[in-house]
Structure formats: structure tokens, C-alpha cells
Amino acid sequence: MVLRNGKLETATGQPSSPEADGFRRWFTEHYGDIAREARSVPPGPTAAAEPAAFFEELRRVAFDLRDRRGPAQIRRPHARMDAGV
């Protein structure tokens, strides 16, 4: 990522910084722990009375998309969501 004109944009064709790569590795290795711990209550009036496990849901949606479309049709981020989880 690069900051251009006050906006964060993808730095295409450039390698990740050591800091970004370190965070990617840490986040990937700890995704399961983060997903079990992180919760959020949806804003406004909603039927959801319990805080939602949004990272768990994000992983479920990503796997569902992968299974429907196949891995070749999904733009893969640097970190694999299924690694170590």
C-alpha cells in the first residue's frame, strides 16, 4: 500500500514492506484466535441481540465463494485465509 494524494492505494508491482509482510504472517497465523475473540454488535435496531463473530463469518463467506467459483476465479490476497486455521 502507498499513500497518494491523501488516499491509501494498492502498490501494484512493488514488494511488501518487511513490516507489512510481518503483519501478514502474524495475522494469518493467529486468524483462528482473532476470529474466536473478535465480536461486534451491528449498529442500529436489529434482530441480532448477540455480538457477531465477524471474522468467523468472513472466513465462512470466503470459503463459500471459493467452493462455488473455484480458487482460480477469486483474487487471492497475499495471506491465505485457510492457512493454519
pLDDT in tens, 54-74: 888 888 888 888 888 765 555
pLDDT digits (tens, 9 = 90+) for 7-16: 878 788 888 8
Taking the whole predicted model, whether its pTM rises above 0.75 is answered as no
pLDDT at 73: 54
Instruction: Report residue 12 as a C-alpha cell.
Output: 501494484
Task: Give the CA distances from residue 49 to residues 33, 37, 45, 69, 83, in Å, rounded to whole numbers and listed in that order.
Answer: 23, 17, 10, 33, 31
Higher pLDDT, 30 or 72: 30
Average pLDDT over residues 66-85: 56
The span from the CA of 57 to the CA of 25, in Å, is 21
pLDDT at 67: 84
Instruction: Report residue 56 as a C-alpha cell.
Output: 468467523
Average pLDDT over residues 9-30: 87
